[in-house]
Amino acid sequence: MQMHPNKDTQLCMSLSARPGNFGLRFHNHLYEQLGLNFYYKAFSSRDLPGAIGGIRALGVRGCGVSMPFKEAAIALVDELDDSVQAIDSLNTIVNTDGHLKAYNTDYIAVEQLLKKHAVPKASTFALRGSGGMAKAVASALRDGGYANGVIVARNEAAGRALAQNLGYEWQADLGDLRPQMLVNVTPIGMTCGAEADALAFEADAVDTADTVFDVVAIPAETPLIVRGRAQGKRVITGLEVIAIQALEQFVLYTGVRPTQEQFEKAVAFARA
């Protein structure tokens, strides 16, 4: 059905430093297909307390939260789901009559994808990154039984803290390590970024790995994923992460879970 917003339309939104169109197109496509009186809009703001206050005051039903707000927003909500408490990073806020509860659907997405792609739990891995998304991915790895890992991060304080909290080692760079799984949770390879054409790991490390996992969603095929595919590796893409986390947000906001076919059509529409 075609959307006809009215005074009863429930607003959902995203909040990030650099808004994209994927979430907007994904959610609005499903609202229209399922006949739900919702509308989704992407926003950017430098006033995080003001933005979160606006969600509460204006009755915005849900908000997807991206970098750099995933940790700072925690102090501004009323309740934390277990997925947030475990890693001190949120990506979703649900507003129920002015009560704001935070979730982390990034964690849920990574957990599902590791199972879907049947990544062996005995795999050694190196995860590059130390921010909020890195916390979600590394925590999902730890909780999924992946015990033999190294956090690779230029920021020593953040990298060491993440590694120590989860029982891993820290290194400033990959060095001589050639693990079975490589996980990129940095902007390396992101379209329009400073390192858009760069590999997140050394080329020979990609060539000797079994699994390549890149959370960068734009482009869908980053230099790391392109090389991994060319070498016949098991690959997990950022598009898969962003799609599943958006699906779980949709369910939290609306209480409705689309069919697999509806989900796949929404992802295709969002990418177009």
- DSSP assignments along 119-148, one per residue: --TT--EEEE--SHHHHHHHHHHHHTT--S
Domains of the chain, earliest start first: 10-103+240-271 (3.40.50.10860), 108-236 (3.40.50.720)
DSSP-derived 3-state class of residue 14: strand
Residue type present at position 162: L
Beta strand segments in 44-196, E: 62-65, 79-80, 92-96, 99-103, 125-128, 149-152, 169-171, 181-184
Task: Write out pLDDT tens, residues 106-142.
Answer: 999 999 999 999 999 999 999 999 988 899 999 999 9
115 catalytically annotated: no
With a CB cutoff of 8 Å and minimum separation 6, the contacts of 42 are: 13, 14, 16, 19, 20, 21, 23, 24
Q: What is the pLDDT of residue 67?
A: 81
* Catalytic site residue from 7, 41, 70, 121: 70
Determine the Cα–Cα distance for residues 220 and 159; give it in Å rounded to an integer. 26
Q: What is the pLDDT of residue 68?
A: 85
Neighbours of 65 (CB within 10 A): 28
Task: Write out pLDDT tens, residues 222-242.
Answer: 999 999 999 999 999 999 999
Task: Write out pLDDT tens, residues 48-82.
Answer: 999 999 999 999 999 999 888 999 999 999 999 98
Straight-line distance from the first to the last Cα atom of the chain, in angstroms, rounded to the nearest whole number:
20
Per DSSP, the chain holds a count of helices (H) and strands (E) of: 10, 12
